[in-house]
Amino acid sequence: MKREKIKDLLLSPAPGDAILAMGWVKTRRDSKDFSFIELNDGSCLSNLQVIADHSLKNFDVIRTITTGSSIKVHGILSLSKGAGQKYEVQAKEIEILDPAPDTFPLQKKRHTDEFLRSIAHLRSRTNKYSAVFRIRSELSFAIHQFFNDRGFFYIHTPIITGSDCEGAGEMFRVSTLNPHEPMKPDDSGKLNFSEDFFGKEAKLTVSGQLSAEMLALGLGDVYTFGPTFRAENSNTSRHMAEFWMLEPEMAFCDLQGNMDMAQALMKSLTRHILEKCSEDMDLFFKFVDTGLKATLENLLASEFIRLPYGEAVSILQKQANKFEFPVEFGKDLQSEHERFLAESHFKKPVIVFDYPKTIKPFYMRVNDDHQTVAAMDILVPGIGEIIGGSQREERLPVLLSRMEEMGLNQKDYWWYIDSRRFGSVPHSGFGLGFERMMMFLTGIRNIRDVIPFPRTPKSLEF
């Protein structure tokens, strides 16, 4: 007999079928002649109640089953006599696949997020984290569906790169050289990577954007979705060394079209998760953030505010006494500033655009004022920045001038520069931090809790 998932059993059109279920024991309680087992297999939040009576040949063994044990159940699916559940299983045979000892760390009590991070290999067995990871899976699918429906092509960009997209230099080095032998400098006194695997310095990517631009300039509309890395020694609730980024790039698209697409994406993903993950989302509405449902529904009902950077600074300066960090024109907005705009001032998502060019990377298109670039960030309540993007600089002379201003070696970007020589077109794109989107949808405030195995400074477990 084929195993059926508990999610499918609970959605069965009628009782009476002989079934085979497998899963992990959440709890067991006993009466004189019966044992009642709550079984979960990870397919949904709800448990399946299994009733074992004293006629089973191993009934005495069944009454010793502990929380966390894995079992196999043959039985009959029947209408439940108890409240709150449609079906239960009258067990005909129960086999213990692997008993969990009394030291199993996930007993029936509330565990802190900090404790669960220390046993991340087990936390998918809890209600909260199984819900998180099911939503993460569904959100990934929703991303692919959104872009597929709009004629985008899914592309794969390099993980190992020789280019620093952001220009911040916070990248992990990739090398096959013997770490116990000192690296000899080259003639200029710099580290010599000529004997390394690639013959030059190689690093883990912080973004697939530059490569995605190249494919957009041949395929039209593309997106890449995968892991990115940042060697930023930052122990905050919003940063990790390894995280996932969604990065669409669109040829023949300006900043307005870019903002339109980013807003449509946010609405579509939110709507999809509310519709497809309603049971899991209810857990977060009830136990994580009681205002979350209203926040998500407000996003769906709202047109995002579009606010020039200069106006954003003016609004923030009037409330300067509320902030830890100063607000100055020409400086990037801090998380507290971003959240104030979205949560307190406008009470809805905000798109801030036209940032000073001095605080943005070389690839963003310079505006006619020569002081700002066609950049945009989407700010949402509870998170702050969740999307960052821009219209890209398609004009070769301006691009070269920006690279010179920022001290970039044009030889390292010869292929990127080439794309502006051979039929360059206006194009735009943005990056959505996948984990930040997960935080927004679930109300979870620590990024370590929306990815199965977080990578942070001094933490490389699991």
User: 251, 217 in Cβ contact below 8 A?
Assistant: yes
The pLDDT value given to residue 167 = 63
| 83 pLDDT higher than 90 | no
Q: Which range among 92-96, 153-157, 191-195, 285-289 shows the weakest confidence by mean pLDDT?
A: 191-195
Eight-class DSSP state of 423 = S
What is the Cα–Cα distance from 249 to 258, expressed in whole angstroms?
A: 9
pLDDT tens-place string over residues 187-196: 777 788 888 9
The pLDDT value given to residue 170 = 86
Q: Which range among 173-182, 364-373, 379-388 shows the weakest confidence by mean pLDDT?
A: 173-182
| 352 pLDDT higher than 70 | yes
Number of other residues whose CB lies within 10 A of the CB of residue 345: 17
Determine phi and psi for 27, rounding to 5 degrees: -150, 160
Residues 6+ apart with CB under 8 A from 331: 359
What is the residue-averaged pLDDT of the chain? 95
| 381 pLDDT higher than 90 | yes
| 154 pLDDT higher than 70 | yes
Task: Give percent of the chain above pLDDT 90.
Answer: 88
pLDDT tens-place string over residues 171-218: 999 999 988 888 878 777 778 888 899 999 999 999 999 999 999 999
**Residue closest to 364 by CA, chosen among 385, 387, 390, 388:** 390
pLDDT tens-place string over residues 218-263: 999 999 999 999 998 888 888 899 999 999 999 999 999 999 999 9
pLDDT tens-place string over residues 276-332: 999 999 999 999 999 999 999 999 999 999 999 999 999 999 999 999 999 999 999
User: 27, 38 in Cβ contact below 8 A?
Assistant: yes
**Residue closest to 86 by CA, chosen among 42, 36, 48:** 48
Q: Which domains does the chain have, with CATH numbers?
A: 6-98 (2.40.50.140), 124-171+206-449 (3.30.930.10), 174-198 (no CATH)
Residues 6+ apart with CB under 8 A from 264: none
Entry field: residues in the chain: 462
What is the Cα–Cα distance from 84 to 86, expressed in whole angstroms?
A: 7
Give the distance, in angstroms, between the CA of residue 64 and the centroid of all CA atoms in the same chain.
40
Confidence label for 137 from pLDDT (cuts 50, 70 and 90)? very high
| 41 pLDDT higher than 70 | yes
**Amino acid at position 169, single letter:** G
The pLDDT value given to residue 233 = 87
What is the Cα–Cα distance from 95 to 408, expressed in whole angstroms?
A: 65
The pLDDT value given to residue 192 = 85
The pLDDT value given to residue 169 = 63
Confidence label for 168 from pLDDT (cuts 50, 70 and 90)? low
pLDDT tens-place string over residues 436-448: 999 999 999 999 9
